[in-house]
Amino acid sequence: MGSYSFFEEYNQEVTDSLKNNFSEILKGIGEDVKREGVLKTPERAAKAMQFLTSGHCQDPAEILRSAMFAESYHDMVIIKDIELYSLCEHHMLPFFGKAHIAYIPNGHIVGLSKIPRVVDVFARRLQVQERLTHDILECINDTLKPTGVAVVIEAAHMCMMMRGVQKQNSVTTTSGFRGQFEKIETRNEFLKLISSDLA
């Protein structure tokens, strides 16, 4: 037996309620809920939905505050290619891609792992990409109070790829800038750095 174990805790009352709802959905689309392949699907879907929307129960600002350090660094800090997975609130289908985030410290820096965690918290909610971009931007800006923040998100949307217009190769890009990044030269430096591979 291996030493690896993975544990997720779910609210049993919520799980049972969602399980019943997913069972009704399966019946509604003509599935046989007694069929072996989907016998446990309602419970799996109930747990998956709780995980994928768990960001509603988390405070992203507190995540940042838990690892803020006084530091006199005043140049750009960039974390790029942060993977993100979210659910579109219109069709509850996934959209996924990458976030590129930069900030210019103003007396405080933050632990590098906290920025991707903030992305996860906001992504694990029913979202639209535009609001996701804004949420991340404002959280960092309001909590760290840097001299500038920049957020760019590039994502593919399954609601465009699997249904509707069915365009498999389209990518949506959204961006937001505050403070120093509203200056064209600072913004261009950021955009150049996230689009290049540094040796």
Return the domain boundaries, the chain.
Answer: 12-52, 59-194
CB atoms within 10 A of CB 115: 24
User: For residues 60 and 4, what is the distance between their CA atoms, to the nearest angstrom?
Assistant: 29
The CATH number of 59-194 is 3.30.1130.10
Give the CA distances from residue 157 to residues 55, 65, 152, 162, in Å, rounded to whole numbers and listed in that order. 20, 32, 16, 9
Active site residue 108: no
Choose, from 71, 89, 130, 182, the residue flagged as catalytic.
89
Report pLDDT for 7: 55
Structure tokens, 15:
């799980």
User: For residues 181 and 120, what is the distance between their CA atoms, to the nearest angstrom?
Assistant: 23
Choose, from 43, 91, 134, 154, the residue flagged as catalytic.
91
Choose, from 127, 139, 157, 180, the residue flagged as catalytic.
157
Active site residue 129: yes
Mean pLDDT by 10 residues, the chain (199 residues): 58 94 96 95 96 94 97 97 97 96 97 97 98 98 98 94 76 97 97 83
Q: Residue 161: in which H helix or E strand, if any? A: helix 158-161
In 3D, which of 140, 145, 127 has the Cα closest to residue 176?
A: 140
Q: Domain 12-52, CATH 1.10.286.10 — does that match?
A: yes
Structure tokens, 189:
């430096």
